[in-house]
Amino acid sequence: MIVVTGGAGFIGSALIWRLNQAGRRDILLVDRLGTSEKWKNLVGLSFDDVLDKTAFLDKLESGWSGDSIDLILHMGACSATTESNAGYLLENNYRYTLRLATWWQNHPKTRFVYASSAATYGDGSLGYSDAEDQLDRLRPLNMYGYSKHLFDLYARRRGWLSSIVGLKFFNVFGPNEYHKGDMRSVVCKAFPRLREEGKIDLFKSYDPRYGDGGQLRDFLYVKDALEMVMFFVDSPRVNGIYNIGTGKARSWNDVAHAMFSSVKKPSSINYIPMPEHLQGKYQYFTEADLTKLRTAGCGHQCMALETAINDYCGGYLARDGYLGA
C-alpha cells in the first residue's frame, strides 16, 4: 500500500493521478479536507480509503504495525510562504514530518519520501546546490522555508538521508491548484482576467539587476514534477535530498507572453507595486542545480515553459478541468 499525505492538495492529488496511470490503486489518501474545495481534486481518482491527517498519525503512534505500507509519499504541508504563525508551521510542517519519520525509523522496510522546498535556499546568494554538506549554510527568507529546512537538518543529523528521500520542489504550477487561494501560481490566478480582458498584472522589480517582470524563477510544470517523483518511487536504492526543477530559469515576462500566446491574444502586461510584506522576502532568481539528480539516474527532460503553459491553459484552465476529471 502507498500512503500519500496531502493527497487532496495540489501535488498530492496529482501524484495519485500519476500512480493511477501506473496501475496503482492501493493508496491510502491522508489529508484534512475541512471546508475547502480540495475535494474536487479527488473526483476521478482511484484510492482505497481517505483518512484525516491527525487520525492517521494517531493510528501509527498507537502501535499499528503498518506492515502493509510499502511507501509513504509525504506531500502534506502548509505551503503558504506568507504564513506568519511560526508555531503552526513548526507543528504542521516540521514536527508532523518528524513524527512520521520517527515511525519510519522503526519500520525501515517502508520507503519514506518527503517534500522539502526550494524556499530553503533563501535569496539564492549561496547557489542552489542540493549537496547535503551545504545545508548549514542556507538562510531561508520566510518561516515556511525555515520549517522545511529544519527537518532537512534534523534528518541529516540523524543519518536518515542515506535511507530516505527529500525533494526540494521549485516553482510548481499546473492542474489541481484552484483551492490554494493566493498561493496559486500566477498562471492560475491571472488566467480569468487574461481571458476576459486580455491583460496580466506582474510585480515591479525592486532589484536593479532585474527589470520589471524580469525576475527569474525555475518554473516546473506539475506533470514534469510527477515524473521526477516517480523516478524515486521506482528507484528504492536512491536516497538523499534532491532538487526537483527544470534547471533553467525563466522570467515572469516569459510566463506572461506564453499565456497570451496560448489564447492567441497580444501581450498586455501591467506592472504593479509589490506588497510591502513581500519586499525583502522575495526570491528574484531561482534555478535548480540538477547535477545530483542526473548523477542519480533521473534523465527526465522537462517540457518547454511555452509547451507546459499551453497545455495548462488550453487543457485545464480554459475548461475548469482537473487532472482526474
Q: Which three cell numbers stand for residue 98?
A: 518528524
Catalytic residue among 38, 148, 180, 223: 180
Our answer to whether residue 144 is catalytic in this structure is yes
Residue that is written with C-alpha cell 549561496 in the block = 126
* CB distance 135 to 210 below 8 Å: no
Our answer to whether residue 180 is catalytic in this structure is yes
How far is the first Cα of the chain from the last one, in angstroms, to the nearest whole number? 24
- Angstrom CA distances, 237 to 19, 119, 131, 251, stand at 19, 26, 18, 36
Catalytic residue among 94, 114, 144, 242: 144
Q: Which three cell numbers stand for residue 42?
A: 479527488
CA dihedral 18, 223, 247, 260 (to 10 degrees): -170
Give burial (CB, 10 Å; 0-12/13-18/19+) of 162: exposed
* CB distance 30 to 53 below 8 Å: yes
As annotated, the active-site residues are: 144, 180
